[in-house]
């Protein structure tokens, strides 16, 4: 039986936690007043904090259509948590490398055509948390698209992501 590696094996501990956006640092996890993830900034690229539990299997992340959509849309990475606390970040590049590695190993010795579940099936592995620039509250989304329009979950106003405020 194949060992199901946890996503925490791909994470980096080289990140900072801050309440405000600082584009000069490497990787910054933005947090709300309660210390929960509210955004992720890397090399000036800002996006949602896609929160994933540390013990989530890598295969579940690769199978999540929502997370793959977010990574293709430019999200800088995933915020990894354990018991509610932030323990690391998995960069988009690390996930992309896992996809390439899984695909290439499957070509050599893996499942035959039609045997495998394709990447991007509907696996629930986490949520996207984004601070609203209008009110400062963190909204939670199952799937977030920058092209979409949303109402803030904490008031009668349009949701504006922190990076557009």
Supply the pLDDT for residue 24: 59
Residue 132: the pLDDT is 95
* Whole-number pLDDT of residue 109: 45
pTM, 2 dp: 0.77
CB 42 within 8 A of CB 49: no
Q: Between the CA of residue 113 and those of 96, 98, 107, 109, 118, what are the distances in Å?
A: 22, 20, 10, 12, 10
pLDDT at 162: 92
pLDDT at 107: 46
The residues pairing with 34 across neighbouring beta strands, listed in sequence order, are: none
pLDDT tens string for the chain (165 positions)? 345 789 999 988 888 888 876 655 688 999 998 899 999 998 878 889 999 999 999 988 888 888 888 877 778 899 999 998 999 999 989 998 888 887 776 544 444 444 445 554 445 667 889 999 999 999 999 888 888 899 999 989 999 999 987
The residue behind tokens 């008031």 is 155
């Amino acid at each position: 039986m194949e060992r199901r590696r946890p996503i925490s094996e791909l994470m980096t501990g080289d990140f900072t936690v801050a309440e405000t956006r600082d584009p000069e640092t490497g990787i910054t996890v933005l947090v709300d007043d309660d210390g929960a993830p509210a955004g992720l900034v890397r090399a000036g690229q800002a996006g949602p904090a896609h929160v994933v539990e540390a013990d989530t299997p890598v295969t579940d992340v690769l199978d999540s259509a929502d997370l793959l959509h977010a990574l293709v849309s430019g999200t800088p990475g995933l915020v990894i948590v354990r018991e509610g606390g932030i323990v690391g970040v998995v960069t988009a590049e690390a996930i992309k490398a896992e996809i390439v590695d899984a695909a290439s190993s499957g070509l050599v010795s893996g499942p035959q055509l039609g045997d495998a579940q394709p990447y991007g099936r509907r696996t629930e592995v986490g949520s996207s948390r984004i601070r609203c620039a209008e009110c400062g509250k963190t909204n939670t989304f199952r799937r977030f698209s920058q092209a979409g329009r949303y109402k803030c979950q904490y008031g009668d106003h349009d949701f504006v992501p922190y990076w557009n405020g």
